[in-house]
Structure 1
Amino acid sequence: MRRTKEDAQHTREALLDAAELVFAQRGVSRTSLQEIAKAAGLTRGAVYWHFKDKAELFNAMMARTASPMEEAAQTLVDTPLPPLAELKRTAMDALTRIAHDPRTRRVFGIATQKVEYVDDLMGVRERHLEIHQTCQQCVRTAVERAQALGHVSAHLDPQVIAMSYQAMLNGLINHWMLDPDAFDLVTCGEQSLDLFMGGLKQLPVAPATD
C-alpha cells in the first residue's frame, strides 16, 4: 500500500513538472492534457486520475510553488514588527525569490503571461482573483495598523494605499519579466518601495484656492 501511494505521488509530481515546462513553452490555453501526459512519459488517463481538468492541474502547479506575493501578504498578519517595515521586508523577499529562484520565476511567468481566462480555465481566474483579494486585504490591514501607530497619514484611504502598493509591485514584476535585462528587479524594487512608503508619511497637499 505504501509503495502504491509513493508511486501515485511520484506520478502526480511528474505531471506537475511536465505541465510547468509545457505551459511555459506553449502557453496554458494552447497546451492539451495529452501533451502534458506525453511530456511526462505517461498516459492521458494518468492525468485524469489525478486532476479532473486543466484548471485543476494548473492550480495544483501554482499551489506547489506558492505565490511569492501571497506568501508575503500572509506574513503581515499578526506580525509584531512595525507594519511599514514588514511591508517592505515581505515585498523584498518576494522580489528576491522571483529574481533568483528559477522555478518561482517560471511559474510566476506562466501565471502572468501565459494564461488566458477562457473556456475550461475560468477556474484559474477564480483562483487568481482569490489570491489578489487576500493579498489586498492583508496589505490594507497592515496599513490600518500603521495609521493607528501614527506611521501613515490618517487622511489617506487604506484601500487606495493597498491597491497602489499592489499595482506598483505587479507593474515592476511584469515589466521585468518582459525584459529582465532592462533593470535589476531587487534594487529597483527597494528604491520604489522607499519612495512609495515615504509618501505615506506626508499629509496630502491642500488644493489651491483662488
Structure 2
Amino acid sequence: MREWLKERQAELHADLTDTRSRVLEAAAQVFSSNGYVNSSLDKVAEYAGLSKGAVYWHFSSKQDLFLSILKQTYEQQLRLLPHQVDHILSSNEPMTALSEWLESQFNCLEAGEERSSLFLEFLVSGEAEIRENLQKLHGHMMDEIGILLQEMQRRGYMAEDVDPRSIALMLDALLKGVLIEWILDPRPDSLRALIHTISKTLWHGIRGPANQ
C-alpha cells in the first residue's frame, strides 16, 4: 500500500508539472500575440486546451503567470549560457562560433514566432511589481554573466582593461537592439549581416592574449 501511494504521488506530481508547463507555454504565446493588457487567464486556458480551474490551480492571477514566464526565461538563459560560452571558446574559430551563436538566438524571428517580442512586454509593462521583479531578475542575470566573463578574463580570453559586467550589459543591449531592428526591417539577409558585424566588432574589441 505504501509503495502504491508513493507511485501515485509521483504520478500526480508529474501531471501537475506537465500541466504547469503547458500553461506557461500557452501563456507565452497568448501574451506575445495579444499583449499583456489584452490577455487573460481564460484565454490562456482556452489556448492550452485546459479548464480554467487547471490554470487557476497553478497561478493566482495574470500578473503571477506573467512573472513566472519572466523568471523561467531568465533561468533558462542562465542555465544554458556557460555551455554556450565554453563551446565558443573551445572552437578553432571563436569569432565564427560567436556569430553562429548570436544568429541562433534569432532563428525564431525568421520562423515567424511572435514569442521573440515577449520581452518587450516586460519592459513596457506599467505594473510596478512586474517592473520591480524584472529589475531584480535582470540585475541577477547581468551579475552572473559578469562573473562568467570575469573568469574568461582571468584565463586570458578577454582584455584586462574591460569591465566584465559592462560587457554583459553591452551584449544584452545589442541583442535587444537586434530584435528591435528586425521588427523595423524584417529581412533575413540584413539580420545576418548585422549579426556578423556585431560579432566581428565585439570579438576584436574584447579579446585577450589567449585569442591572439
Q: TM-score, normalised by structure 2?
A: 0.66
Q: 2:27 aligns with which of 1, 12, 19?
A: 19
Aligned to 1:38: 46
Tell me whether 20-29 or 193-202 shows the greater mean CA deviation: 193-202
Tell me whether 13-22 or 164-173 shows the greater mean CA deviation: 13-22
Tell me whether 45-54 or 179-188 shows the greater mean CA deviation: 179-188
Matched residue of 1:107: which SS? Answer: helix
Amino acid at match of 2:52: R
Tell me whether 153-162 or 65-74 shows the greater mean CA deviation: 65-74
Q: Deviations over 1:10-33 (max 9, x none)?
A: 543443343233212210122122
Q: 1:196 aligns with which of 174, 194, 202?
A: 202
Q: Deviations over 1:42-61 (max 9, x none)?
A: 44333211112223323444
Q: 1:136 aligns with which of 132, 142, 147?
A: 142
How far apart, in 2, do the equivalents of 1:3 and 1:126 lie? 36
Matched residue of 2:106: which SS? Answer: helix
5+ residue gaps, structure 2, are 1-7
How far apart, in 2, do the equivalents of 1:118 and 1:16 lie? 21
Amino acid at match of 1:23: F
How far apart, in 1, do the equivalents of 2:152 and 2:122 lie? 37
Q: Deviations over 1:86-132 (max 9, x none)?
A: 7984674354143148899533322224764333x724x34533443
Q: CA RMSD in A?
A: 4.1
How far apart, in 2, do the equivalents of 1:133 and 1:181 lie? 32
Structure number with the higher helix fraction is 2
Matched residue of 1:75: which SS? Answer: helix
Query: Is 1:171 matched with 2:171?
Result: no
Q: How does 1:1-210 map to 2 (within 5 A)?
A: 1=8, 8-9=16-17, 11-61=19-69, 69-75=77-83, 79=86, 82=89, 89=97, 92-93=100-101, 95-100=103-108, 105-113=113-121, 116-119=124-127, 122-123=129-130, 125-181=131-187, 183-201=189-207
Amino acid at match of 1:45: G
Amino acid at match of 1:30: N
Q: Deviations over 1:163-188 (max 9, x none)?
A: 22222222113322443226443453
Tell me whether 19-28 or 84-93 shows the greater mean CA deviation: 84-93
8 Å CA contact 2:41, 2:52 repeated in 1 = yes
Q: Percent identity?
A: 23
Q: TM-score, normalised by structure 1?
A: 0.66
Q: Report deviation, 1:39.
A: 3.4
Q: 1:173 to 1:194 in 2, by over 3 A?
A: same
How far apart, in 2, do the equivalents of 1:110 and 1:83 lie? 32
Q: How many residues align?
A: 199
8 Å CA contact 1:147, 1:153 repeated in 2 = yes
8 Å CA contact 1:97, 1:105 repeated in 2 = no
